[in-house]
Amino acid sequence: MAKTTKSQARTKRERSEFLWGWLFILPTTIGLIVLNIIPIFQTIYQSFFKTGDFGKGNIFIGLQNYQKVFADKEIWQALINTFKYAIVEVPFSIAIALVLAVLLNRKMKGRSVYRTIIFLPMVAAPAAVAMVWRWLFNSDYGLINNVFHVHVNWVSDPKIAVFSVAIIGVWSIIGYNMVLFLAGLQEIPRDYYEAAEIDGATGVNAFFSITIPLLSPTIFFVLVTRVIGSLQVFDLIYMVIDKSNPALTKTQSLVYLFYKYAFINKNMGYGATIVVVLLIITMILTVFQMIGQKKWVFYN
């Protein structure tokens, strides 16, 4: 009889912990469903419709939007632009942030000040960032051209405009990546470095033999999030490249085209189709990264 009482008490306690656990995560769960999951299904549903005239609702057209997307040269150009941006932003932002994190993880005078300065672009308003960099990139009186005594149309030349925007993206995200790497570096025991130093290993050897392998989970997390973030670039392009700029065609991303079709051209269905295509591309790239990480990420 006593055993039954203890079992009932344990079951009651487990039930209470289960209910309290769900109660704590309920606000986040509701927000996730309302703000993320439901909009995803609404977007997919909207992609099968063409936005009708004012007051006439939507017209079901099946897969016509998807057929149009795959035949639309503007979409393919935007996809190329997006990948160009990602190819520059992702590796450079990770590499520079990693080097800075390793340097600022050491004991040095003014370390906190340097960390704060590098992280400041992350908290700066995107509009302010765009205004400053537009001035720096100005072909006539911009600081960059004047310092290096060159005349380059950084944001109006279709050949280099997307790379100029990517430079801004790298500068803006380095601080965030650095903080993540610093957190990962502080979890690595100092004993490994002391043992390597006793064995005569140099700093470079320790970096590639100890730091990189033990930091690989953090590097992988930053890589995945940056790939997803770079594919969703919009605000920098919108604020740096004017609509009258001849480089806009060679700079606009898939998300920019979504904004253009959905909110300017009032074709919500086609805009939703672009987002669905971007979602599929993002999922495919993420799956490939998840498969590839088994070969170079060490969790033990």
d(CA 234, CA 82): 10
Mean pLDDT of the chain, nearest integer = 89
Q: Which two tokens stand for residue 258?
A: 């979504």
Q: What is the pLDDT of residue 53?
A: 58
Q: Which two tokens stand for residue 156?
A: 């109006």
Q: What is the pLDDT of residue 245?
A: 86
Asked whether the predicted pLDDT for residue 83 surpasses 50, the reply is yes
Q: What is the pLDDT of residue 199?
A: 83
Q: Which two tokens stand for residue 204?
A: 């470079």
Q: What is the pLDDT of residue 4?
A: 53
Which run of H or of E encompasses 59?
strand 58-60
130 or 6, higher pLDDT: 130
10 or 3, higher pLDDT: 10
d(CA 37, CA 31): 9
Do 258 and 271 form a contact (C-beta atoms < 8 A)?
A: yes
Do 278 and 255 form a contact (C-beta atoms < 8 A)?
A: yes
Q: Which two tokens stand for residue 143?
A: 């600081």
Most confident option among 18-22, 197-201, 257-261 = 257-261
| Amino acid present at 221 | F
d(CA 91, CA 97): 10
Query: Partners of 51 in the beta sheet?
Result: 58
Residue-wise pLDDT for 110-141, tens only, equals: 888 988 899 988 888 888 888 899 999 988 88
State the Cα angle at 180 between 179 and 185, rounded to 5°. 95
Q: What is the pLDDT of residue 165?
A: 95
Residue-wise pLDDT for 40-65, tens only, equals: 999 999 999 987 655 467 888 889 99
Q: What is the pLDDT of residue 56?
A: 61
Do 144 and 137 form a contact (C-beta atoms < 8 A)?
A: yes
Asked whether the predicted pLDDT for residue 166 surpasses 50, the reply is yes
Q: Which two tokens stand for residue 133?
A: 């960099």
Q: Report which of 250, 85, 106, 96 is spatially closest to residue 168, judged by C-alpha positions.
A: 85
Do 145 and 155 form a contact (C-beta atoms < 8 A)?
A: no
Q: What is the pLDDT of residue 127?
A: 83
Q: Report which of 35, 167, 181 is spatially closest to residue 98, judged by C-alpha positions.
A: 181
205 Cα distance to chain centroid: 31
165 or 196, higher pLDDT: 165
Q: What is the pLDDT of residue 243?
A: 84
Do 105 and 187 form a contact (C-beta atoms < 8 A)?
A: no
Q: What is the pLDDT of residue 44?
A: 93
Residue-wise pLDDT for 228-276, tens only, equals: 999 999 999 999 998 888 889 999 999 999 999 988 888 889 999 999 9
Most distant pair of Cα atoms in the chain: their distance = 91
Under the banding of pLDDT at 50, 70 and 90, the label for residue 6 is low
What domains, with CATH codes, occur in the chain?
A: 2-46 (no CATH), 71-295 (1.10.3720.10)
* Whole-prediction pTM: 0.88
Give the contacts of 192 (CB within 8 A, at least 6 positions apart).
210, 214
C-alpha distance from residue 242 to each of 149, 156, 168 (Å): 25, 9, 16
